[in-house]
Structure 1
Amino acid sequence: MANINIGIEENARIEIAQGLKHLLADSYTLYLQTHNFHWNVTGPQFRELHLMFEEHYTELATAVDDIAERIRTLGVAAPGTYKAFAQLSSIEEVDGVPSANEMIVILTASHEAVVRTCRQALKLAQEAEDESSAALISDRMREHEKTAWMLRAML
């Protein structure tokens, strides 16, 4: 890639991109987890949860693209394999099909994990005065905090 001169030192760009890689991995893993639960939820809350999970994974599909594109903007390759995401993500994969209530508990914890990843990445962006990355991360953090709150309210 050509020389990048956007006012952020190369080392800082690489460090911020690394934080964003973790956020991308968490977001993609959460996308997959949410989609899985959308397909497999059963019980009295089926319709409500099925539709809510669809809203969540649709929003996450846009988010992963935004995060990956920001990583590329910083001049770093974005991870794009399950292997890479598994190594970078703080979200544990779920075996089997949990009950609807367990799905809500698991998704709440996963959204909270993404918030913690956002907080770590946000510090890196703020230290480098990278407002574009900070804004993206802050927006993602706010979305995951709100979603975790809504999920907790269902328990």
Structure 2
Amino acid sequence: MSTTLPSTLATPTDLAPANTVHVADVLNTILADVLALYLKTKNFHWHMSGPHFRDYHLLLDDQAAQIFGIVDDIAERVRKTGNTTLRSISDVARRQRVKDNNAEFVSASDMLAELRDDNVALVASLREAKAIVDEARDNATSGILDGWTDQAEERAWFLFEASRNQ
């Protein structure tokens, strides 16, 4: 989906153009997943119910804020490599691998489990992206991916621990 910008708008980089297109493609897919995960986390935050409502409601709000906090960084990383990023909800829908949940009711335990699994899947995607950006010699993106991986692992861990003994 990503394309190289016209030469009049080309961003200066010492990375090989073919590599930057590949890096942009993987980052745009991650961006779509992050946006889908953000919206799902907010959905579950809004629809949380049960005896642990307050704790889970606050946990999901904190996690949603952390997820949303990397959206701009991902998109700007794509642009720094001289490529374009997502433009619309349909771009997100075409690329996302995080499945939407449109159920009328989801139990608190199912919400936590689904978000935990989504964050674990995001960790796997980030690790795959790391291999691609390392091959492209894009060490700036590589370093940033480490932090995003750590954040997703922490979210998965918190969701796992919060759902124990339910």
Written as runs of structure 1 = structure 2, the 5 A alignment for 1:1-155 is 1=5, 2-96=9-103, 97-155=105-163
- Alpha-carbon distance, 1:5 to partner: 3.6
- Residue type at the aligned position of 1:111: N
Give the root-mean-square deviation of aligned CA atoms. 1.2
Q: Which runs of 5+ in 2 are unaligned?
A: none
Q: Which runs of 5+ in 1 are unaligned?
A: none
- Residue type at the aligned position of 1:10: P
TM-score, length-scaled by structure 1: 0.95
Q: Distance in 1 between matches of 2:51 and 2:149?
A: 31
**Identity among equivalent pairs (%):** 28
Q: Which has the larger radius of gyration?
A: 2
- Residue type at the aligned position of 1:12: N
- Alpha-carbon distance, 1:4 to partner: 3.6
Counterpart secondary structure, 1:12: helix
TM-score, length-scaled by structure 2: 0.89
Structure with the bigger percentage of helix: 1
